[in-house]
Amino acid sequence: MPITVNHVVISVSQGDITAWQGDMIVNASNSGLYGGGGVDGAIHRAGGPRIAEECAVIRQKQGGVLPGEAAVTSAGIMTFRGVIHTVGPIWKGGNAGEPMILANCYTNSLDLACAHEAHSIAFPNISTGIYNFPKELACKVALDSVIQYVRQRRIPGLPLQRIEFVCFERDNADLYKATLKTYS
């Protein structure tokens, strides 16, 4: 069940983020912006070689993207207005600032979506795959970050109207749905 915060609908669904309908999607990328496994590989495959070419330009200009930061490319042959690539933290036990870095992934991605006048954005489950961030904590950080962003930074004129967490796995979707209910 979606919630609405400052006129922005926040929801959860299960599925393939590359098949989502909206303006921009977020890619859980690696620092080099190379198409890897999981959602990163799926987005690179679905978008075609143009995304990889644009990621190479970002690497040449700035050497990649640091954990917690984000960069934008086109969506290649996908119908989105763009793909926001963000680099989540690798879980090291929780004492290396991982929750704050993960929160920055969401905040910086939302900043880029707003800068590109996106009306809608979809997030995957950042850092919960091979980066081993605990799923329950990642869920809480994700929802806290997005809801706080919308509450604090939502001002008249910002285009964002819909934020969706698109979870590939059912257990993640169920976790996000149950946790989202606690915010309503």
Could you list the residue range(s) of the whole structural domain that residue 47 is in?
Answer: 3-181
- Give 159's pLDDT tier (boundaries 50, 70, 90): confident
Span 109-146, pLDDT tens digits: 999 999 999 999 999 999 999 999 999 999 999 999 99
- Residues with catalytic annotation? 40
Handedness of CA 3, 8, 9, 13 (dihedral sign): negative
Do 85 and 70 meet the contact criterion of CB atoms below 8 Å apart?
A: yes
19-53 burial, b if ≥16 CB within 10 A, otherwise e?
ebebbbbbbbbbeebebbebbbebbbebbeeebee
Residue 160, sorted as left (phi over 0), alpha (psi -120 to 50) or beta, turns out to be: beta
Number of domains in the chain: 1
CATH assignment of the domain containing 80: 3.40.220.10
Query: Model's pTM, two decimal places?
Result: 0.95
- Give 153's pLDDT tier (boundaries 50, 70, 90): confident
Span 60-73, pLDDT tens digits: 999 999 999 999 99
Residue 70, burial from CB neighbour count under 10 angstroms (0-12, 13-18, 19+): buried
